[in-house]
Structures are given as structure tokens and as C-alpha cells.
Amino acid sequence: MIGDLGARDATALAELVAAREVTAEELLDAALAAVEARNPDLNAVVLMQEGVARRAIAAGLPEGPFKGVPFLLKDLGCEAVDFPSHNGSRLLADTRYDRDSAIYARIRATGVVTFGRTTSPEGGIGAATEAAVYGGPTRNPWNLDHTSGGSSGGAGAAVAAGIVAFAHGSDGGGSVRIPAASCGLFGFKPTRARLPDGPYVGEGWAGMAIDGFLTRSVRDTAVMLDACAGPDLGAPYVAPPLIRSHADAISRPPRRLRVMICDTTFTGAPIHPEVKAAVHQAGRLLESLGHHVEPGRPQADVPMMMRAWTDIVGVGTALGVRKTLKGRDAEGLVEGVSRGAMAHAETLHPTRYLEAVGEIHAFGRQMAAVFEHGPDVILSACLAEPPARVGRFSHATEDYVGYRIGPGGIFEYSPFCAVFNASGQPAASVPLGWSEGELPIGVHLAMRFGADEELIALCAELERAAPWAAIRAPMAGASRQ
């Protein structure tokens, strides 16, 4: 029996399988044992499909780069015939699909052994994962009183706890990067349309949402992105083509870059001192590697963007809920913040959705101009403070607008990530800091539209300079090093 899966990345596990030092069955057994031991505290892994996983192994796994490595899908999107989904909602509990999504087909072709799903908040709204359909909140394995983030909070908790070495996620306002920052993992949001959305949708949240992965290493993300990148049939638009590949990019250092370091929010508000210190530490590390670091703040209308983001997501939530309710009462089936989103959508003029999309596009041009005339990289915090306590961002409230952009709301807590969903630019959270309470702190890096390869190469350079692979799974009894 192999030990804790959190002690190795997925690439290393695949190498063990290829060398016949361990079997796919043994890796699956280890993952299932970890679920049994750790998931009761975490509430991260749901909708287990052990039989599907064992049949896939018996039938012969694809000869992909991660052949035999256990894997989990987020319980939101990534539609798959063999994996029913709650989509984080009592309304959508036990949804079944008649065909696989393009992203799942590409994931499966890597040879992974998928055996379940991970928790997500209803509708993917929020920086915490506390959906009622799962019977309780998902918790951070570093400290169970704190959130693992959202909306890919179950994925972040499962990887950080060593249940799996990597997992699927998605990111419409930071939903990969926030859990990565909260759980001490690497989270990368690709350029808009780098990964396929079909056939179930043409785009998510006006193009702001995209799939991704929670990983322990940059190389795992790079290889998985290469396996999944490219449009699916009928995609409404495509990302700029890669020069070579993500995996090729991380094989060599990037050029020396101009780095704008921002130790406030992008509107100039202060951030938590421990998080600010982590940003400056990352800046010094980049300087030691030969990059040119200067203080600055991107000049773009962030409040406008967040209002537009809030309206677009509110309308999208209302559309999805109403299509499924089919005249039933939302009370008891839909959580408070989603009901609030529906109510907010009803207050908007019929033309507001397209107006908001236009504002997002205008904001994207503003952010493109920041990179055109200034830095190559923007370095900031990922979250404005260390991971929040469980319950702070409960979905019970019906004040959807206040929950998002009001005082003490999610945008104050996570003011950086959604900026790059709106602009479509690639961005990443890198685990380079720790709070005094021994919780992870992620620093955030972003580059111009289409510069995925250069950004992931920079992340790999940081990983080589300050390895975070030594950060063992907290629930496996290993201490942070």
C-alpha cells in the first residue's frame, strides 16, 4: 500500500505506475482510505463512484500522462455520464447527463482514475463552500475552523489533505485561485476560452468562467492544461494559440520581466499586514531572480467591473434556477443568496445584461492597456486577508448585492481575482506565504491576454526558487516545513 498521496504530485504518481512500482488499484485504494479517514472532518468529497473507477481500471486506462492517478471532479460543471452531480444545490441534486462534456472527455484521456466529486457552493457563488445539499460546510485541512475557499473549495481541501494529488476546479471570479490560496496549493486561471465549455454551454458568465485544476506542483497543471486546451466543436470564440505548450514553457526560465507590485487592493484600500508582508516577500524573491520590481497600481475602473460582474452573475443565476424550478417554490430548494440573486435580477432593466457585458469588455481593454504601456506582470495578494472562518460567507443571506460588493462582502475579502476573469487575462495563485495562525497565504500573479506560457514559466521559476512541495498534507500528521 502506498502512503499519503499528498506527499507526491500527480506526475510522480504516474511515474510510479509506469515503472510498475505501484498499480492503479493500489493508488485508488489509498485515495479511498484517505477519504474514509479525513473526509468526515473536511466534508470535501461527495458522490463517490468507486465502481465506476474500478471498472475503468479493469477495462484498461488510456495511455495518457496521468495513467492510474486518482482524480476528483468538482460538483459543478464538468458534466459526465458516469458522474451524477448535485451542482452544489438541493434543486439540482442527483442530476444525470446523457453525454460527456468536452473538458471531461479530455481529462479522462489523460488516464486519470476518477472516483467522485468535490463540494461546491450553490451556483458557484462565493469565496467559501458551505452548500446545504452537503449537510454542512467544507473545512480547511490546515485549520478546521476556517474555510477552504470557494467555489472549488472541496477540491482545494481534498488536495491539501492528501486525498488526491490534484483535482478539477473552475474559476469565474477566483474559484480556483481562492481555494489554492486558502489551502497552500497552486491554482492557475488560463486565458479566456483556453479550455472548452461545450457542449452544455457556449460560455460561462459572459466568458468570465473557465475550468482549471488544483495541484501541488506547477508541472501537474502545465501537463493537464496541455491535455485539455483548445476549443470544442462550435465554440463561439477561441484563445490565441499557444507558442508551444505549457509543459515546454516550464522547462526553461522566462525572460527577465518588469513586475508591478501592488501591496494594497487595486482601488488603494489596505490589506491585512500578514498578507502584505507575503506580497513584499514575493517581490524580493522575484528581484533576487533578476526581475525588475517596482511599486504601482493598475489604473482601471474596478468598481464598475464589480457591479457589472455582480449583475451578470445575478442574471445567470436567475436563469439557471428558474429553468429548473419550473414553477415550484424556491423556498427549501434554493439557498438564500441564490434567491437574492433572482430578486436582484428582477430589478434590472431588460437591457442591463448587455450593458454589463459591454462594461466588462471595456474593462478588459483598460486592463490590456495597463500591460501594453507598463509592466509584464502584476504581483498582488490573492486574498486581502488570511482564510476566513467558516460561516462568515454563509449562503443564508438573501442580500445578494451586499454579499458580493457590500461592506464586509466577498469583494473586500477577494478584491483581486475577479479582475482577471473580467479581463480574460491569465492569472495564478502561488503558495508563498503563511499567516501567524499557520494558514496559507497565496500571492497572485497576472499577465497580458494570451501570455499563459510565460506566466506558468514564471510560476515554475518561483517553485524552483522556493519549493512548496515540502508542504505536506496537514491531516496526514506532517508538519509544515
Half-sphere exposure of 38 (CA within 13 A, CB side): 32
DSSP-derived secondary structure for 91-141: TTTTB--SS--HHHHHHHTTT-EEEEEE---GGG-SSS---GGGTS--EET
Active site residue 394: no
| Candidates 74, 101, 380, 423; catalytic one | 74
Cβ(267)–Cβ(302) below 8 Å: yes
Q: Which residues of 444-458 are buried (b: 16+ CB within 10 A; e: fewer)?
A: bbbbbbbbbbbbbbb
The grid coordinates of residue 108 equal 479522462
| Candidates 120, 151, 338, 429; catalytic one | 151
DSSP 204: B
Cβ(301)–Cβ(423) below 8 Å: no
Half-sphere exposure of 292 (CA within 13 A, CB side): 7
Measure the CA–CA gap between 108 and 252, rounded to whole angstroms.
28
Q: What type of residue sits at position 132?
A: A
Active site residue 152: no
Q: Which residues face 335 on adjacent strands?
A: none
Measure the CA–CA gap between 432 and 208, rounded to whole angstroms.
26
Measure the CA–CA gap between 404 and 395, rounded to whole angstroms.
11
Measure the CA–CA gap between 155 and 296, rounded to whole angstroms.
33
Measure the CA–CA gap between 441 and 333, rounded to whole angstroms.
35
Rg for the chain, CA atoms, rounded: 20
Cβ(151)–Cβ(208) below 8 Å: no
Distances (CA, A) of 472 to 211, 282, 362, 476: 26, 21, 43, 8
Q: Determine if the peptide bond prior to 474 is cis (ω within 30°).
A: no
- Beta-carbon contacts of 103 under 8 Å, excluding residues fewer than 6 positions away, are 77, 78, 168, 195, 196, 197, 211, 228
Active site residue 74: yes
| Candidates 120, 170, 175, 380; catalytic one | 175
Parallel, antiparallel or unpaired: strands 70-74 and 113-118: parallel
Write out the catalytic residue numbers.
74, 151, 175
